[in-house]
Amino acid sequence: MYNYPESLQSVIELLKKIPGIGFKSAQRIAFHLLKMPTQEVEKLGESISSLKTKLFFCSRCNNITDEEICPICNSSVREKEKLCIVEQPYNLYSIEKTGIYKGNYFVLLGSLSPLKGIGPDDLHLDKLDILIKENGVKEIIIATNPNVEGEATSMFLKNYLSKYPEVKITKLSVGLPIGSDIDYTDEITLLKAFEKRYEM
């Protein structure tokens, strides 16, 4: 069978390993790279090569960072008595973009998933305990994803954190997304929106 030249095939094969990128997308990306200015393509290649050597997980909260302690943990203006627990660094980033939250974070780097073999031992709970004590945390906001694994993780955390009776445990609300249409909302979200309805 006819194959692409080796260097092109190799880029396609490597891109295909990324979840959500199939052969067709990998091919499209590779051909687009061929059309891009040489300088930019080389810059992308170098940035990707250096990604793993330049970045670490924050030693306190597991956020992704290029220093030992991330800028959020290092900041003197954040409200240290608030701690928001997220699954991944990009969840943290999404919350930061809203600008509504000024406390600290803890990143679990995963969620409980028996299928993927992720159990409580993989959620870095020892680091979480240290952070709660050191920061004198008064409120923990659980911001796991509103899916099966996130919900399981959230229930697990609620139990785990019951050893801190003085700490208030809260959770992000669920309901109709703003700008959506009830007709197009899935049943479970609509059900939750009813369950969690509030007095106006």
**Contact call for residue 102 and its own copies (CB under 8 A):** no
Decide whether 46 or 81 has the Cβ nearer to its own copies: 46
SS3 85: strand
**Contact call for residue 2 and its own copies (CB under 8 A):** yes
- Side chain identity at residue 133, one-letter code: K
SS (HEC) of 124-175: CHHHHHHHHHHHCCCEEEECCCCCHHHHHHHHHHHHHHHHCCCCEEEECCCC
Decide whether 51 or 200 has the Cβ nearer to its own copies: 51
Considering only 39-47, 122-130, 147-155, 160-168, which stretch makes contact with its own copies by CB under 8 A? 39-47
104 near 130, Cβ under 8 Å? no
**Contact call for residue 31 and its own copies (CB under 8 A):** yes
Smallest separation (angstroms) from its own copies to the CB of 84 = 13
| Contacting positions for its own copies (CB under 8 A) | 1-2, 4-8, 10-11, 14-15, 17-21, 25, 27-34, 36, 38, 40-55, 64-66, 71-72, 88-90, 93, 96-97, 99
